[in-house]
């Protein structure tokens, strides 16, 4: 029997120095209530974003306060999907407010030899990988925890290549 995957909060709580997150999908959980509200209202205020996502801001902020560097790299299609526009619109009030570093890379601006993982993932302190599986609509279906050194090293190396060519959130102008 496979042991249960630890809660994400527990993984981040035991992280000591570096948590990296790769996002490569153009849509996640399209029925998410916050996303649906953003679409209806053509935006969310900074205050509402912080209220809606306060648990993440607190969780990430606590880790960052302990000295953990959290970096998020998003590889996206342009023109952006509605969901990716939503992510871009709330990044400043959510991810940046929590202390994360966020970079964006358009698929059509990526180097042709860029190797991108098939699944989204997190890597914690270069020894634990949390691989996220999604269905065709963008809903998460499974989380897979891994400690294989080669897998973790490969994911980390791919992230660093993406990070090096991606654009800082504050400079990214989506098409």
pLDDT of residue 117: 86
pLDDT of residue 175: 84
Angle of helix 82-91 relative to helix 33-41, nearest 10 degrees, comes to 90
Q: Does residue 3 have a pLDDT over 80?
A: no
Per-residue pLDDT tens for 29-42?
999 999 999 999 98
pLDDT of residue 18: 98
Q: What are phi and psi of 38, to 5 degrees?
A: -55, -45
> Token digits for 165?
């060519």
Per-residue pLDDT tens for 132-175?
999 999 999 999 999 999 999 999 999 999 999 999 999 999 88
pLDDT of residue 4: 66
Give residue for tokens 């649906």.
36
CATH architecture of 8-170: 2-Layer Sandwich (3.30)
pLDDT of residue 77: 96
Per-residue pLDDT tens for 39-66?
999 888 988 888 889 999 999 999 999 9
Of the pLDDT bands very low, low, confident and very high (cuts 50, 70, 90), residue 1 is very low
Q: Is the pTM of this model over 0.85?
A: yes
pLDDT of residue 159: 96
H/E stretch holding 162 reads helix 149-165
Q: Does residue 97 have a pLDDT over 60?
A: yes
Q: Does residue 112 have a pLDDT over 90?
A: no
Name the DSSP class of 96: I
Half-sphere exposure of 124 (CA within 13 A, CB side): 18
| Pairing between β-strand 167-168 and β-strand 69-76 as defined by DSSP bridges | unpaired
Q: Does residue 2 have a pLDDT over 70?
A: no
């Amino acid at each position: 029997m496979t042991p249960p995957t630890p809660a994400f909060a527990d993984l981040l709580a035991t992280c000591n120095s570096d948590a990296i997150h790769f996002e490569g999908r153009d849509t996640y959980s399209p029925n998410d209530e916050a996303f649906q509200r953003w679409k209806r209202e053509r935006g969310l205020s900074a205050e509402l974003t912080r209220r809606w996502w306060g648990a993440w801001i607190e969780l990430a902020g606590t880790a960052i306060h302990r000295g953990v560097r959290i970096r998020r790299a998003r590889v996206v299609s342009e023109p952006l999907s509605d969901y990716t526009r939503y992510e871009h619109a709330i990044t400043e009030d959510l991810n940046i407010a929590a202390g994360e570093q966020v970079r964006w890379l358009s698929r059509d601006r990526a180097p042709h030899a860029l190797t991108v993982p098939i699944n989204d993932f997190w890597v914690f302190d270069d020894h634990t990988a949390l691989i996220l599986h999604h269905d065709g609509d963008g809903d998460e279906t499974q989380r897979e925890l891994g400690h294989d050194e080669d897998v973790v090293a490969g994911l980390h190396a791919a992230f660093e290549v993406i990070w090096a060519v991606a654009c800082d959130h504050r400079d990214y102008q989506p098409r």
